[in-house]
């Protein structure tokens, strides 16, 4: 017990020290946590060398981290992008699997090892991506929802793969059917519990925040143990437990309670990933490492960009989605570790996968950190992919000879309320949005709209900015807002420009750039409640009226597929 306490203490202390340097140098934290593991592990100072301790800490870290990730996967957010998630994910996983097998064969792998090569390049890391998107507040953006949906599909296939690889030595239709039934049975249990059992139990537990927290952790452990009984890893059970709780009314409270656990165990996992690296036989797999890294960092983003383009998504959404998914998965590590135990692959293959994970995860943190700048430099090249879309020219409903007085950029959530107000004011307005599903709904209702990105100069040139009285952008994108202000001011100095920001410093900068008003949703929400409280204190009936109007608005939003 004392040794484990000291081991964890050393891991956290070194991760914290390097984390301070990372913040000072404005670098992502994940690569520094991995570096901390390299320093204190067998390849560095050798302060922690017990492979069993490293494996145990890593497994605990993965389990708790995936539990919290599962809690954040609210399936109701994914309805607008369901088609691309289901079809696109299947195409992407299948293509990457066969590409992996093809290059694995060229690199000299054979037999079962070829299957594992195909699997490790097919899946992306749910916990890494969710953490990166959460840190940037991009989980609820269009590309964030697409990424989450693709990851969820990949995780389902990874669970199936984990069950199927156990039958490789004695493969038959019976064993494959048994594996599929195990997965189906486990998921059905989770669904039934999430739908019928947990709502009642958690309703009772919600009277005490402490009991609510303990019950959530109990579910995590229970599903982890059940997962082992079914022949899966503890991590899979923890992840499925999180997903089963994600749609409960109490998921926000649960998530807030366990978020500190997420950060703690995320640190444990990434440090243990660095500690677990073994370089024996490095010369033998240096070429495979380079090739597989190129497949994940270059080919995979290009493949995902191509798939999304065929579904009609703009180049920016495709780029942001594809670069975020350019890494191998924690499930790949679990798969390969299981394969090594079963004798399907060698320990060298496990070392190859670990280093591949370290390289690609590190690269992804920088891709996500600098994604907007990278997009600006590569958007001309990305036009090639946008031209693949057969539907992009159909994605507008606008009368060319009719001038519009108001331009509304971003229709989802806040934009919906603004659009309803403009309708009541009988203002002629046109909506710009980069979610093709939203544009399809607007076209169906004969609402003037254009499919595009506010940060795309070509789109702005087509919108007759010189004839506008007002421009309202609900997109909290600093670069797009500054470009919008600049272009509108150049051709129409009298137009009112309203933009959106989540940051006080950025808001002040946008005012300096020439914005007439900057919407800060959280401040506006507080101001609205304050005004409402003043009105209620003198007239309680006003609260009843406000409540009825609010319920009506929520039902209207639910009808048009708004869930937040």
Q: Residue 393 has what pLDDT?
A: 45
Query: What are the sequence ranges of the domains in the chain?
Result: 2-386, 395-519
pLDDT tens track for 88-100: 889 999 999 999 9
pLDDT tens track for 19-63: 888 888 877 778 888 888 888 888 788 887 666 776 777 777 778
pLDDT tens track for 330-354: 778 878 877 777 777 777 888 888 8
Those residues whose C-beta lies under 8 Å from the C-beta of residue 156, and which sit 6 or more positions away, are 187
Rounded mean pLDDT, 80-89: 76
Asked whether the predicted pLDDT for residue 562 surpasses 60, the reply is: no
With cut-offs at 50, 70 and 90, classify the pLDDT of residue 187: confident
Percent of the chain with pLDDT over 70: 85
pLDDT tens track for 108-118: 888 788 888 99
With cut-offs at 50, 70 and 90, classify the pLDDT of residue 292: very high
DSSP letters for 299-317: IHHHHHHHHHHHTT--HHH
Q: Which residue has the higher pLDDT, 410 or 300?
A: 300
Q: Residue 298 has what pLDDT?
A: 93
Rounded mean pLDDT, 243-254: 77
* Counts of helices then strands in the chain (DSSP H, E): 26, 7
With cut-offs at 50, 70 and 90, classify the pLDDT of residue 294: very high
Rounded mean pLDDT, 285-299: 91
Q: Residue 304 has what pLDDT?
A: 92
Q: Tokens standing for 549?
A: 């109007």
pTM of the model: 0.73
Asked whether the predicted pLDDT for residue 165 surpasses 80, the reply is: no
What's 76's DSSP letter?
G
DSSP letters for 370-407: THHHHHHHHHHHHHHHHTT-SSGGG-EE--TTS--SEE
CB 11 within 8 A of CB 266: no
CB 474 within 8 A of CB 410: yes
CA distances from 515 to 10, 265, 561 (A): 50, 43, 31
Q: Which range in 85-99, 219-233, 432-446 is most confidently predicted, on average pLDDT? A: 85-99
Collapsed DSSP state (helix, strand, coil) of residue 423: helix
Q: Tokens standing for 338?
A: 């299981």
CB 512 within 8 A of CB 494: no
Handedness of CA 114, 119, 124, 125 (dihedral sign): negative
With cut-offs at 50, 70 and 90, classify the pLDDT of residue 558: low
Q: Residue 91 has what pLDDT?
A: 92
Least confident range from 22-31, 194-203, 441-450, 523-532: namely 523-532
Asked whether the predicted pLDDT for residue 483 surpasses 70, the reply is: yes
Least confident range from 5-9, 11-15, 93-97: namely 5-9
Half-sphere exposure of 149 (CA within 13 A, CB side): 26
Q: Residue 95 has what pLDDT?
A: 94
Asked whether the predicted pLDDT for residue 563 surpasses 60, the reply is: no
> Distance (Å, rounded) from C-alpha 253 to C-alpha 212?
8
CATH fold group of domain 2-386? Na+/H+ antiporter like fold (1.20.1530)
Q: Which residue has the higher pLDDT, 449 or 69?
A: 449
Asked whether the predicted pLDDT for residue 362 surpasses 70, the reply is: yes
DSSP letters for 46-65: -S---HHHHHHHHHHHHHHH
CB 473 within 8 A of CB 481: yes
Q: Which residue has the higher pLDDT, 432 or 71?
A: 432
Least confident range from 11-20, 57-66, 486-495: namely 57-66
CA distances from 556 to 181, 209, 431 (A): 40, 32, 19
Q: Residue 98 has what pLDDT?
A: 93
pLDDT tens track for 513-554: 888 888 888 777 777 677 767 766 666 676 677 777 777 766
Asked whether the predicted pLDDT for residue 103 surpasses 50, the reply is: yes
> Distance (Å, rounded) from C-alpha 138 to C-alpha 98?
31
Q: Residue 121 has what pLDDT?
A: 92
Residue range 395-519 forms a domain whose CATH class is alpha beta
| Mean pLDDT across the chain | 80
- Our measurement of the distance from residue 269's CA atom to the centroid of its chain's CA atoms, rounded to an integer in Å, reads 19
> Distance (Å, rounded) from C-alpha 556 to C-alpha 76?
16
50, with CB counted inside 10 A (0-12, 13-18, 19+), is middle
Asked whether the predicted pLDDT for residue 9 surpasses 80, the reply is: yes
With cut-offs at 50, 70 and 90, classify the pLDDT of residue 391: low
């Amino acid at each position: 017990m004392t040794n484990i306490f000291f081991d964890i203490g050393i891991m956290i202390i070194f991760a914290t020290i390097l984390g301070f340097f990372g913040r000072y140098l404005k670098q992502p934290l994940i690569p520094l946590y991995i570096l901390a593991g390299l320093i204190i592990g067998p390849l560095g100072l050798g302060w922690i060398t017990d492979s069993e301790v490293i494996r145990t800490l890593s497994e605990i870290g993965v389990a708790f981290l995936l539990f919290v990730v599962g809690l954040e996967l609210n399936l109701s957010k994914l309805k607008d992008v369901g088609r691309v998630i289901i079809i696109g994910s299947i195409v992407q996983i299948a293509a990457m699997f066969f590409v992996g097998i093809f290059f694995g064969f060229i690199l000299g792998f054979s037999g079962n090892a070829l299957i594992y090569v195909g699997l490790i390049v097919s899946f992306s890391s749910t916990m890494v991506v969710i953490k990166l998107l959460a840190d940037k507040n991009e989980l609820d953006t269009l590309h964030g929802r697409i990424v989450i949906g693709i990851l969820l599909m990949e995780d389902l296939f990874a669970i199936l793969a984990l069950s199927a690889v156990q039958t490789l030595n004695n493969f038959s239709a019976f064993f494959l059917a048994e594996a599929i039934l195990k997965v189906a049975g486990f998921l059905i249990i989770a669904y039934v519990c999430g739908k019928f059992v947990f709502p009642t139990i958690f309703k009772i537990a919600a009277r005490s925040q402490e009991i609510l927290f303990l019950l959530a952790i109990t579910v995590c452990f229970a599903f982890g143990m059940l997962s082992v009984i079914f022949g899966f890893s503890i991590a899979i059970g923890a992840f499925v437990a999180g997903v089963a709780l994600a749609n409960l009314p109490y998921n926000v409270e649960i998530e807030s309670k366990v978020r500190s656990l997420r950060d703690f165990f995320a640190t444990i996992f990434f440090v243990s990933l660095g500690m677990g690296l073994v370089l024996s036989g490095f010369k033998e797999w240096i070429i495979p490492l380079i090739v597989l890294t190129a497949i994940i960092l270059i080919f995979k983003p290009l493949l995902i960009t191509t798939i999304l383009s065929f579904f009609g998504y703009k180049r920016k959404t495709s780029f942001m989605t594809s670069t975020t998914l350019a890494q191998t998965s924690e499930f790949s590590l679990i798969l390969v570790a299981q394969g090594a135990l079963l004798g399907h692959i060698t320990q060298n293959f496990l070392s190859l996968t670990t280093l591949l994970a370290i390289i690609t995860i590190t690269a992804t943190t920088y891709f996500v950190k600098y994604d907007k700048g990278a997009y600006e430099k590569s958007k001309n090249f990305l036009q090639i992919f946008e031209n693949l879309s057969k539907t992009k020219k159909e994605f507008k409903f606008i009368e060319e000879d009719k001038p519009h007085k108001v331009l509304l950029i971003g229709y989802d959530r806040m934009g919906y309320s603004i659009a309803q107000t403009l309708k009541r004011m009988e203002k002629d307005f046109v909506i710009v949005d980069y979610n093709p599903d939203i544009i399809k709904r607007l076209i169906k209702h004969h609402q003037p709209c254009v499919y595009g990105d506010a940060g795309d100069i070509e789109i702005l040139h087509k919108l007759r900015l010189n004839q506008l009285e007002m421009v309202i952008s609900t997109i909290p994108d600093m670069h797009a807002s500054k470009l919008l202000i600049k272009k509108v001011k150049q051709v129409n100095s009298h137009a009112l420009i309203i933009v959106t920001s989540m940051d006080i410093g950025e808001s002040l900068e946008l005012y300096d750039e020439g914005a007439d008003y900057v919407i800060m949703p959280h401040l506006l929400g507080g101001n609205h409640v304050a005004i409402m409280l003043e009105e209620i204190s003198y007239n309680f009936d006003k609260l009843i009226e406000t409540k009825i109007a609010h319920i009506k608005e929520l039902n209207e939003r639910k009808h048009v597929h708004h869930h937040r």
